[in-house]
Structures are given as structure tokens and as C-alpha cells.
Structure 1
Amino acid sequence: MREKKTFLIDIGNSFCEYCELDSNDDYSNRESIPTELLTQDYVTSIFLDSICYISSVVPDKDDLFKNVENVNSYFANHNFVTDISINLSSPDELGADRLINALGAFSVYGGPSLIVDSGTAITFCFVSEEGVYEGGAIFPGMRLCSWALNKQTAKLPLVWVESRDDLYGKNTKDAIEVGLYQSFYGLIEHMINQYQSKYKNIKVIGTGKGLSVFKKELSFDYIDNDLIFHGLKQFSYTRI
């Protein structure tokens, strides 16, 4: 039984998602807001007199929690996450989101596992059978690529990508949608196939808002949009 109200918080580049842990350590009172709306007033009104376990990739938002005396904040990083090992040349460069997703995947599904997280960026993270974070790959997400096409050209529109089964578009908007959708579908499937060829018993776990656009069946063993909460909950056990 936790003594104080406890929150798990994921501060991403685009969205901040959080939930409360109830008396059974289940997730309740889930919320998702644009990260830009996470202000000092918001933090004070929602998280006062609580314990917060936080995965953040937006350093400017961290002080919003540190500035409130009655909020006990624990930020996940490679120094404090001890349930998995990190085999990287520069462990301090590992983003908290990737680290906590890896912790969540290993604690729930074991290893070896490949975590595919589709958000502002698309990341692939590999955890060995022994629970070692071995590395990964980072790609710009579809929304980011759509924004770049719009901002770096004179005439191409900003497009919100929808699921596409066709191979070509009849107008510029459709052509961008087809190009982005088919290329990212191919990217994800190719990376999964490469890992499955090398690691025969690997578990492939998908997470993140960006996966909702793919109506075709990608080669995931699990789709788990609570993965980062699983990792933050596991992190909380080491900080109690």
C-alpha cells in the first residue's frame, strides 16, 4: 500500500501522458495532454502532495516538478534504473523513454525483445535474453517527415497521414500520404524481419500513438500502449 498518491508520468516531445496508481497498483485516472500545455500551474494543480515517477525527454519541463516542494519527483535515467543493464558506449545519451520502455518490456515479456515505439520519432530498442539493453535505431516519425516536406518546400501541403493500401496517389496530398505510409510500413516491417532472422525467439512489442495508422498487420507479437507505464511502475519499486 503506497502512503501517498502516486503518478506515473511520460513527458514526450508531443504529448504528456500520465496515470495514477490505485491501491492495487493498477492504472487509473489516465490523461493525455499536449506537452506544451504542461505548465507550472498545471503541475501544481494536479500533482501537489504526490509522488511522481517520471520519464522525460523534454528537459525544460523537468523543473516544473522540481519547483514544487510538495511533489516528490523521481526522474528515470541510467543511474537509477537497475533492473536492466546498459551496454552502450555513452549510457548517459540513452533517452528516458527508450530506457523505460525497455524496462517495461523486459519486466513483462522477458528477453530477447525488440521494442518499436512510434511517436515523434520511431525507435527500435533491443534487450537481450539476459536483460541487457544492447542498443537500437532512431528514425524521424511520419508526422515529423510530413512537417519537413511542408516546411522545406514551396508548394507541398502539410498532410496528416491516413492508412493507405494503394501504391500511388492521384493528387499531391494523396501522393504524400502514400509515400509516407508505404515507406514507414516497409521500414518497420523490414527492421522486424531483420531481428526475427537473427534472434529466433525474440518478442516484438509495438507501442506508441503512431502505430494506430497501420491497419495492415505488422509482425508484432504484442501491441502494448501501457509499456512505458509498466516500466515506470517497475522503476517505482526500486525507489520506494
Structure 2
Amino acid sequence: MIIAVNIGNTRTNAGVLNDEGAFISNLSCNTTRTPDGYRAFASSLPVDARVLCSSVVPEATLAFARAIRLYGFCLEVVTARDDLGLKFNGLNYAELGADLFTNALASHFFWSRSVLNVDLGTGSTFCVIREGVYLGTSIVPGMELSLRALTSSAALIRPIELAKPSRVINTTTVECVQSGIYYGYLELVRGMIYRVQKEQGRLFVVLTGGIGSFLREELHDVIDIYEPNLTLYGLWVASQKIPQFPLV
């Protein structure tokens, strides 16, 4: 049994997969990343589980590893430095985020074609993988981050929740900001998908990430599949290729 954990800048996601790669369930993981939260998570894990992690937050990785070690688990950390069959097109793979790497592993394994991974999270990434070669990435600030940047920098705009307004042009500050962020970001994603394919040719478009679930219905005509657990599936793929990764 595989426990796959993705520690991102904003959220920590975890799931249980069996040895054949079937997704069994998501696991609740304390998003505040407190020692107590991580210990509570570790105490609920099956004793025979193998715990694999991709992380872009080194401090949180160490805290998580210390917590699960108390319950007899070792944390295996997957990075782009691991030789898992992907090739790099002149990229400095040491700079490639572990989440983007494991996303690429999953897409290459399950779809084996030219793929565009669109991961909408703290940052939004557009990554192209063609026949096992990671060609490159484009990165823009995420939707929530863009909203926080606006509300924290404008003295007269208070914090505002993400929402889809019914109109593009509105009359209240809250709805005006919500409209601009929602419809503006939607067109950003659409435009990036169009431009990437104009440059790279037709690609199988995989949408993932926390904001992906928020925008998926509006993007149905420009994506091929929405997979919320893409990174966790990538960790399962990694587990099938190497018996044990470096321990933390």
C-alpha cells in the first residue's frame, strides 16, 4: 500500500493507493502543518504502508518526516534528480519542482502521448511532456495569489473571497474584483493553453490543482481530462520504478 503525500506552498494533499495504482481514498492532512496535525495524520496510517512525498516546502518536509518517524514510518522523498525514465530537454532538472516532476511522471505513464499539464495552484504551471521528454514549463501567479496581491496592496479594497459573479461588469467593489479575477484568470488559462499549442502543436491537455476544480466546467472545451490527484498518481508511478527513495 502506498501513502502519497504532496506538500505544496498552500495545501498538503495525501491519498492511499494500492500496489496496482487504484486510488482508494484521500486522507485528511492538517493544512496548518503543525507537529500535532502531522502526528495525528501519522497515527491513522496502515502499519504496512510505504510513504512517498513530493514537496516544494523543505521545512514542512522535515517536520512531516519527524512526525511520522514517531510512528515507525520513513518518509521517501521523490525529486527530479531521481532517474525514473523521464528525459530533460536541456533543462536544469535540479530546479524542477517535485510536484511538476511527479505530474509529468503520471501523465507520461497513463497517456503516453504529447501532454500539456495545467496545474492551477499557488502558482499556475503549463508543462509540456512529449514522448517521455520534459520540454519545459511556463509559470504565472496563481488565482488566489493574484487576488491576495490586489487586496493587500490596494488600501481601499478589503479581503475578498473567490467567487463566480453572474456578470462581467458590476457595480459593487466586491463583485467588480471577483469578476475581474474570475473571468480574467479564466481567459489567462484559456489563452495560455491556446498559445502553448500554437507553439508546440496539438497536445492532450490535463487539468489539475486546487483551482482546477473551481474552473473545470468553464474550461471543459479546451481540456481533455481533469485529474485532481495527478501528483499523487505520479508518486505511485515512482514507487513502481524504485524500491526505495532517499529517506528523510
Q: 1:176 Cα deviation (Å)?
A: 0.6
Using the TM superposition, name which of 145-154 and 163-172 deviates more: 163-172
SS where residue 13 of structure 1 aligns? Answer: coil
SS where residue 64 of structure 1 aligns? Answer: helix
1:45 matches 2:46: no
CA contact (8 A) 1:13 1:35 kept: no
**Structure-2 residue corresponding to 1:64:** 63
Q: 1:38 Cα deviation (Å)?
A: 4.9
Using the TM superposition, name which of 11-20 and 41-50 deviates more: 41-50
In structure 1, runs of 5+ residues without a counterpart are: none
CA contact (8 A) 1:108 1:230 kept: no
TM-score (norm 1): 0.89
CA contact (8 A) 2:28 2:41 kept: no
1:127-171 CA deviation, whole Å, 9 max, x = no partner? 11x211111111111111111112112111222222245221211
Q: What letter corresponds to residue 148 of structure 2 in structure 1?
A: W
Q: 1:226 Cα deviation (Å)?
A: 1.9
Q: 1:208 Cα deviation (Å)?
A: 1.2
SS where residue 60 of structure 2 aligns? Answer: helix
**Structure-1 residue corresponding to 2:14:** 18
CA contact (8 A) 2:115 2:206 kept: yes
Report the Cα distance in structure 2 between the residues aligned to 1:139 and 1:203, rounded to whole angstroms: 21
**Structure-2 residue corresponding to 1:184:** 185
Using the TM superposition, name which of 46-55 and 115-124 deviates more: 46-55
Report the Cα distance in structure 2 between the residues aligned to 1:178 and 1:147, rounded to whole angstroms: 15
**Structure-1 residue corresponding to 2:99:** 97
CA contact (8 A) 1:104 1:231 kept: yes
**Structure-1 residue corresponding to 2:246:** none
Report the Cα distance in structure 2 between the residues aligned to 1:216 and 1:207, rounded to whole angstroms: 14
Q: 1:203 Cα deviation (Å)?
A: 0.3
SS where residue 18 of structure 1 aligns? Answer: strand
Q: 1:88 Cα deviation (Å)?
A: 4.3
Q: What letter corresponds to residue 228 of structure 2 in structure 1?
A: N
- What pairs up with 1:23-38 in 2 under 5 angstroms? 24-38=20-34
Kindly tell me: are residues 126 and 165 of structure 1, through their superposed partners in 2, closer, same or farther at Cα, counting changes over 3 Å? farther
SS where residue 176 of structure 2 aligns? Answer: helix
Report the Cα distance in structure 2 between the residues aligned to 1:212 and 1:29, rounded to whole angstroms: 17
Report the Cα distance in structure 1 between the residues aligned to 2:101 and 2:63, rounded to whole angstroms: 22
1:155 matches 2:156: yes
**Structure-1 residue corresponding to 2:212:** 211
Q: How many residues align?
A: 235
1:96-145 CA deviation, whole Å, 9 max, x = no partner? 011111111111112211000111111111111x2111111111111111
SS where residue 169 of structure 1 aligns? Answer: coil
CA contact (8 A) 1:22 1:28 kept: yes
TM-score (norm 2): 0.86
Kindly tell me: are residues 107 and 165 of structure 1, through their superposed partners in 2, closer, same or farther at Cα, counting changes over 3 Å? farther
Q: What letter corresponds to residue 21 of structure 1 in structure 2?
A: L
SS where residue 102 of structure 1 aligns? Answer: helix
Q: 1:234 Cα deviation (Å)?
A: 0.4
**Structure-1 residue corresponding to 2:4:** 8
In structure 2, runs of 5+ residues without a counterpart are: 244-248
